[in-house]
A and B are shown apart, each in its own frame.
Chain A
Amino acid sequence: MKRRGVFPFTAIVGQEDMKLSLILNVINPALGGVLIKGEKGTAKSTAVRALAELLPAMEAVKGCRFHCDPVQESFLCDDCTEKFHKDGLSDIETLKMRVVELPVSATEDRVVGTLDVEYAIKKGEKKFEPGLLAQANRNILYVDEINLLDDHVVDVLLDAAAMGVNTVEREGVSYSHPARFVLVGTMNPEEGDIRPQLLDRFALSVTVTGEHDRDNRKEVIKRRLAYEADPEGFIAAYQKEQEELAQKIVAAGKLLPEVTVADDMLDKVAGLAIDLGVDGHRSDITLIKTAMTMAAFQGRKNVETEDLKIAARLALPHRMRRRPFEDGTLDMEKVLAALEG
């Protein structure tokens, strides 16, 4: 089957914060994902699916079910760890990072993995059959309508996201494997809340609204029609822009390890966190990592106040609630005052 083309990422009109937050997560998969909130028909899913085209290639241990990273010895699966200590990991393949979708109706056994029934019946032995979390290792895990996900599946996601490891003690199998993924969720807030704990696991959050600008709205319709009339031609027209962005992402990823943060920048972040009275320390570190990734995206090796401002806009709004469902709003003026002061 020929793969149907996807609407190009660069052809999406407006929604700059959403696009930026997705790009930052691709540049820095350790950032911690993004939650995209918005009404129906605001290109949320389109953007996530389009992102697949921009994902960089990565090296992985050949044949590994979890596509382990050969240079990260701390995140190897059991098999790879054994190989690593025996002969080293030399057999390597290049894979493209991809988007793994977790449908809302997914059952827990499919998410975490389960007993390989066929193998058990044929051989009389137990074997672990990996689930979606195995596929998602080092990839993007996309959950559409994440607020409608069953509670017990959310628990599993939280667990894996917190530890970077999926621990399975179910249905006759005891197994654990690396599960480090970029969690991307979309939700329509009108259909219900998302658990604060899950919310907190997202590094960034953005709210998308329909375009209010007349010209932009018209442009959205035009492009959609053009795409539907001739998908291939439309995609071809954006080919160059797509490639440029993909290259920029790769370059930023390479630059990222060299980005440094000056002490006065840390000072600003700590001061801001105290001013805003956020819970815990996850927000500080997320803020600083986002700013670093932003700097890399801009081709800089040092974090500037501008980066912090953008990072604050993306990383803080969903952390402003102090009680489970208190109304939290980010006072941008306060943020700017703290960051510029």
Chain B
Amino acid sequence: MSNYNYCYPFAAVVGQKQAKRALKIALVNPKAGGLLISGVTGTAKSVLVRSAAMLAGSRKIINLPLNVTEDMLFGSIDLEYAVSQGERRFESGLLGRADGNILYIDEVNLLRPELLTAVLDINIAGENRVERDGISFAHKTEYTVIGTMDPHEGLLPNHLLDRFGLFVETENLKDKEQRKIIMQRLLDFSRDRIAFIQSYRKETEQLKVQIAKARELLPEVEISEAMMELVVQYCTQAFCAGHRADLYLLETARAIAALAERTYILPKDMEEAAMYVLPHRMRKPPEPESEEEEPAQEEPEEQEENTDLPDDADEAENDQENSLPPPPASQEADNENNTDENNDSNENDKKTPDSDPQINSSQEDKVDGIDMHFPIPKMILDMGRDQVNRKGSGKRSLTKTDLKQGRYVRAEIPKNKVDDLAFDATIRAAAPYQRHREKNNCAINIQQGDLRQRVREKRIGTTFLFVVDASGSMGAQERMRAVKGAIFAMLQEAYQKRDKVGMIAFRRKVAEELLPITRSVDLAQKRLAELPTGGKTPLAEGLAQAFISLDMLKRKEPDAEPVLVLVTDGRANSVVQEGEDPVESAMKLAKQIHKAKITSIVIDTETDFIKLGVAQQIAAAMGANYYKLKQLSQGDILHIVRNIGI
């Protein structure tokens, strides 16, 4: 049924010049390292890949579904043969079937990373070694990996990104006429797809011939010394790690030359190749830290780098401008992002009522907008070894689950009683012995020793409880805008990891639970935007409220390992009970939190000239991980280490 003959034709796709070009290159030269297409939803990513099936000649597109089990991916024992012959024979999996073909992974960023690593590494090595189900086998395999992803659903880590030779982004067309043509064509296609495909037959045929010719010509494309020089120059300027980039660049340039029916590479081929091979692997130059890039030159977010290493994106971009031909795609992306920025800032302006930034601890309430350009912090949770089977859902950490939910990833020989039988693995285990076993009209007799237990995996999210200082001092000098930006960025991270979030704000004399702990990151963002600042700082109240909320959570979900995120400038100056010292009572509560082994992180927003450093003291008392807001805005990685108590 993987019938791609009825797909929307490649030639009928409007715009997407770069993606189309990259796809052709990937089809011509498998050594170019495969292709990753990134783009927001509805920008013809999958349409393009599927349509490529018609251009690939005798090669097939093999679809790798996200829920593939390991036996089917790598190959396993041939069940039917084992039963009838009593011998173990290897039966190819997807990776075997992909040999010489194209392996298509939709939503590649959602594939389990260890599987993706294996898929990419096996291709690079050209060999699949299987040791499972009593089978030991190795076979050659080489395929072209094409992946598509929506960056909103999370990004690929650098080491995986690096293994894709080519990278391209699909564009959101802004032209009215083009949009009309798209609609018209899609309507025609859905009305009568066979007639529609037929009407593009000529173009499709031409493309197919072009690719076939280029493939034939490819081995003859020569690489001159000068071109090698150029490759090295490009790659060193882009600070690419390792040597993979050099080869990919070279092979891509060869494909481009072959597509132009040449047997030699021109500098412009190399220039074009760099556009697809380099953007996703540029690294920070290992130079001594140059002083802060001035924020005025705020570069648009380049998707593949922004979340992980926001600074890199800036510098890589600048770098690229100096040394490389600017890729048109990112230029366009720039424009897009710029308009976004404008929109955002307009919105923010609307939300921000006029206020005098000089007023400190004002009694007036004001509502700051959210700084939408705050880099998304990378949060690494070090919660120690996970020995307990946990319940819950989310993506923060992978954990084995004892519920019969979660994705069945592999089978194992049971350690205890079998309560979640892996039928397929059990049958495979029993198969080779069937010739010698007594059978009652069945083909397979299963015995105790054959039983296999399913191993399921489920991603467990973390619960983040934000405790936000909303006092007047926080509202000064646009500080709240940055704070909201930081929290917003963390919320985005939380969304991608499917974490739960809750929010408490404290100001004047009270702490208020703005948002009970929920999976709705949506609501959290809404409450955040509406949060006003003003009044004094009842820090102790905020901590007390957090303590109560987390205590309740513990009761409901004893397995949960929440993280308390305290955002404050530490200027505690309000208490409920007259006569208490605001800082001291906050310290008391901080110690309690430490004792209760609540993992926490303090984000210090104090920027005043005279620093009191209270937030840092509080952090120490809480046993919290301590970061300054500035560190976050620089894209520092947040290491959150488990609180092991006093």
Chain A positions near chain B (C-beta within 8 angstroms): 30, 73-75, 77-78, 81, 105, 107-109, 112, 114-115, 117, 120-126, 150-152, 155-156, 158-159, 162-163, 165, 167-178, 189-193, 195-197, 200, 257, 261, 263, 266-267, 269-271, 273-274, 277, 279-285, 288-289, 322-327
Q: What are the residues of chain A within 8 A of B496 when measuring CB–CB?
A: 324
A176 lies within 8 A of B407 (CB): no
Query: What residues of chain A lie closer than 8 Å to B428, measured between beta carbons?
Result: 172
Report the separation of the CA atoms of residues A157 and B121 in the bound assembly, to the nearest whole angstrom: 28
CB distance from A25 to the nearest CB of B (A): 15
List the 5 closest A-B pairs by CB distance, nearest first: A280-B42, A124-B443, A282-B42, A124-B83, A74-B6
Instruction: Tell me, yes or no, whether B484 is within 8 Å of chain A by CB.
Output: no
Assembly CA distance A119 to B46 (angstroms): 36
Partner of A124, one of B5, B80, B110, B174: B80
Across the interface, name the chain B residue whose C-beta is closest to A105: B405
Are B459 and A196 within 8 A (Cβ)? no
- What CA separation (Å) do A190 and B520 show in the bound complex? 7
**B residues near A279, Cβ cutoff 8 Å:** 40-43, 172
List of A residues within 8 angstroms of B340 by Cβ: 322
Contact A288 B529 (CB under 8 A): no
User: Can you give 27 A-B contacts (C-beta < 8 A)?
Assistant: A74-B194, A107-B405, A117-B427, A120-B443, A121-B446, A124-B443, A151-B393, A159-B106, A167-B2, A168-B65, A170-B68, A171-B69, A171-B424, A172-B72, A172-B424, A172-B427, A174-B94, A191-B520, A270-B177, A270-B183, A274-B176, A281-B43, A281-B179, A281-B183, A282-B41, A282-B42, A325-B495
Residue B297 CB within 8 A of the other chain:
no
Name the interface residues of B57-108: CB closer than 8 Å to any CB of A. Answer: 63-69, 71-73, 76, 79-80, 83-84, 94, 106-107
The reply to whether A280 and B43 contact each other, CB–CB distance below 8 Å, is yes
B263 contacts partner chain A, Cβ-Cβ < 8 Å: no
The answer on a CB contact under 8 Å between A172 and B187 is no
Measured in the bound complex, the distance between the Cα atoms of B191 and A74 in whole Å is 13
B184 located at the interface, meaning its Cβ lies under 8 Å from any Cβ of chain A in the complex = yes
B521 contacts A325, C-beta separation under 8 Å: yes
- Contact status B2-A165, CB under 8 Å: yes
B79 and A172 contacting across the interface, CB-CB below 8 Å: yes
Chain B interface size band reads: 35 or more
Within the assembled complex, what's the spacing in Å between the Cα atoms of A282 and B68? 28
Give the tally of cross-chain contacts (CB within 8 A).
228
A residues less than 8 Å from B339 (CB atoms) = 277
CB closest residue in chain A, given B15: A281
Additional A-B contact list (5), CB under 8 Å, known A121-B427, A284-B183:
A169-B69, A176-B1, A279-B43, A281-B44, A281-B172
Q: Which residues of A are found within 8 Å of B459, using beta-carbon distances?
A: 151
Q: Do residues B525 and A271 form an inter-chain contact, with CB atoms below 8 A? A: no
For A285, list chain B residues within 8 Å (CB): 182-183, 186-187
Nearest residue (CB) in B for A171 is B424
Q: Which residues of A contact B184 (CB under 8 A)?
A: 266
Most A CB atoms within 10 A — which of B46, B66, B94? B66
Nearest-CB distance from B17 to chain A (Å)?
16
